[in-house]
């Protein structure tokens, strides 16, 4: 066999191997890290028309290095709606391994002051930030079941294997309506079972398995942000006093003299466009130099019994106004006192 013919056959063989490689690529995200690739060359030749012994080269080999490639993305595409004082409010992220080796990942989360997410600027921090990894793959946070705080091991395949990560936070009771709290989840690749981020191999290719960062920033650090949208009732309170009767003028232009009656009007207004205020209690102490006038308490125009007046330990009117609706819903309490003589 001539050298030219041998080279031609070798080319056909390489083409066939290339086709196999395309099929294999459908099942693996690139050649797996640590794969040992070896081959050798041969030469056929003849002398004086007589075929000679084939010459075989020494085997050449190399090890496929580790390509660190992964993404972190926010799930849902909108802010998580919540209210002040609520604990264990969940936002969701997804980490996808698109490298060529199974990796662990160490995770961290922070409040992001002043940043913009979903067109809204952060103006409130949340408390007690925690991270939990979805252990059963159902995409929902299960307290007591999803307890891992880092990803121990995540395999890789053609499409990239993914896992859901939950960020859990407590909303301050002092937060107010239409505040926004942005949080950022960051992941760094580690060896399986470790929490130490992988370093990139410096210098030329070594005989061992080197590490190359191939993530978007080429820094072994990928992150994504999510947002808590805090919605609350936005209550305002107004109070007025009007003289409604005196012993001399009666109900015609009465004056605030001893013995006169003064009606207080307390109005609660909810300016929130989204959230009702529940269990609204209106409490008003009877001022010094006045006495509660029986039978005068009302809520939104309907009379209430005098059991809403408490004589001790501090004389006061207490009215449970129930729920005050959003979009400028109101609750109005009225009662009357007499100016002491």
Q: What would the pLDDT profile of 47-57 be if each residue is shown by its tens digit?
A: 999 999 999 99
Cβ atoms of 309 and 341 within 8 Å: the answer is no
Which of the four pLDDT bands, split at 50, 70 and 90, describes residue 187?
A: very high
pLDDT at 25: 38
Residue 292, CB half-sphere, CA atoms under 13 Å: how many? 21
Report the chain's mean pLDDT, rounded to a whole number.
91
Separation CA 290–CA 243 (nearest Å): 13
Q: What is the pLDDT of residues 105-164, one digit of tens each?
A: 999 999 999 999 999 999 999 999 999 999 999 999 999 999 999 999 999 987 779 999
- Give residue 205's pLDDT: 95
- Per-residue pLDDT reduced to its tens digit, 193-241: 999 999 999 999 999 999 999 999 999 999 999 999 999 999 999 999 9
Pairing of strands 261-270, 329-339: antiparallel
Q: CA dist 154 to 138, 164, 192, Å?
A: 16, 11, 8
Domain ranges of the chain: 3-64, 67-230, 235-339
CATH number of 67-230: 2.60.40.10
What DSSP line would sit under 17-36, residue for residue?
A: HHHHHHHHHTTSSSSPTT-E
Q: Is the pLDDT of residue 184 over 60?
A: yes
Provide the whole-model pTM: 0.76
Higher pLDDT, 195 or 21: 195
Greatest Cα-to-Cα distance within the chain, rounded to the nearest angstrom: 145
Give the C-alpha separation, 93 to 164, whole Å: 6
Question: Do 67-230 and 235-339 show the same overall fold?
Answer: yes
Q: What dotted CATH number matches 235-339? A: 2.60.40.2260
Closest among 330, 336, 327, 230 to 280, alpha carbons compared: 330
Least Cα distance to 285 among 310, 265, 253 occurs for 310
């Amino acid at each position: 066999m001539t050298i030219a013919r041998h080279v031609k056959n070798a080319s056909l063989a390489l083409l066939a191997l290339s086709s196999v490689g395309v099929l294999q690529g459908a099942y693996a995200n690139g050649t797996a890290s640590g794969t040992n690739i070896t081959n050798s060359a041969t030469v056929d030749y003849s002398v004086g028309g007589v075929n000679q012994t084939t010459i075989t080269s020494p085997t050449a080999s190399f090890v496929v290095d580790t390509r660190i490639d992964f993404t972190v993305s926010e799930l849902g595409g909108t802010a998580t709606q919540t209210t002040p004082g609520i604990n264990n409010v969940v936002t969701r992220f997804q980490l996808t391994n698109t490298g060529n080796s199974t990796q662990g990942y160490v995770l961290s989360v922070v409040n992001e002051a002043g940043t913009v997410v979903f067109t809204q600027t952060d103006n409130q921090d949340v408390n007690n930030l925690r991270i939990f990894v979805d252990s059963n793959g159902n995409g929902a946070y299960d307290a007591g079941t999803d307890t891992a705080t880092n990803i121990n091991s995540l395999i890789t395949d053609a499409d990239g294997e993914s896992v859901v990560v939950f960020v859990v936070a407590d909303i301050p009771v002092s937060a107010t309506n239409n505040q926004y709290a942005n949080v950022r989840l960051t992941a760094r690749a580690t060896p399986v079972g470790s929490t130490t981020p992988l370093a990139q191999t410096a210098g030329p290719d070594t005989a061992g398995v080197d590490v190359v960062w191939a993530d978007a920033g080429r820094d072994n650090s990928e992150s994504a942000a999510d947002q808590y949208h805090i919605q609350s009732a936005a209550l305002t309170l107004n109070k007025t006093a009007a003289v409604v009767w005196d012993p001399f003028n009666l109900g015609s232009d009465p004056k605030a003299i001893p013995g006169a009656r003064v009606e207080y009007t307390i109005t609660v207004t909810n300016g929130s466009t989204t959230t009702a205020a529940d269990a609204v209690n209106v409490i008003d102490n009877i001022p010094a130099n006045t006495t509660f006038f029986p039978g005068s308490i009302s809520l939104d125009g309907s009379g209430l019994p005098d059991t809403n007046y408490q004589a001790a330990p501090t004389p006061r009117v207490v009215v449970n106004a129930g729920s005050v609706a959003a979009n400028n819903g109101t609750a109005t309490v009225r009662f009357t006192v007499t100016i002491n003589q």
